[in-house]
Structure 1
């Protein structure tokens, strides 16, 4: 049984799918946008994004005050 008030666990793969399911791979996402797609809190999405940044090629950039955008770089071969 799940404890009341405990949020569903989201894996890093769940977050990666949010990036892969977009039509424009070059568009960065905010943690709020990722949270909306997953149906979780912004804090949960932000935690997963930080984990991914440490362990994969997901990257981020500050875009003002405390705002940050996240993306998976598109590699251009050739």
Structure 2
């Protein structure tokens, strides 16, 4: 898969923080994993993980580790 670059040569975003928030807001589930969000946006889990980390830093989403490698996320 090739990605588009902007006029400065940087890769364009595959998704936005707003798109991630929209998925969380419209979900019937109270919490979601990054993988679930990534599947709905058709992007990688790592891409969503970076957006979620920034949203958590901005105090817009909460997170909780629920297993050895599982984290769930929700809107604050």
TM-score (structure 2 length as normaliser)? 0.78
> Is residue 35–residue 45 contact of structure 1 (8 Å, CA) maintained in 2?
yes
Q: Pick from 18, 42, 46: which aligns with 1:43? A: 46
Q: Residue 72 of structure 2 corresponds to which residue in structure 1? A: 69
Q: Which runs of 5+ in 2 are unaligned?
A: 6-10
Per-residue deviation, 1:62 = 0.4
Within 1, Cα distance between the matches of 2:24 and 2:54?
A: 15
Q: Which runs of 5+ in 1 are unaligned?
A: 74-78
Runs (4 or more) in structure 1 with deviation over 3 Å come to none
Count of matched residue positions in the alignment of Structure 1 and Structure 2: 69
Per-residue deviation, 1:63 = 0.4
SS at match of 1:61: strand
RMSD after superposition: 2.0
Q: 5 Å matches for 1:16-31?
A: 16-24=21-29, 27-31=30-34
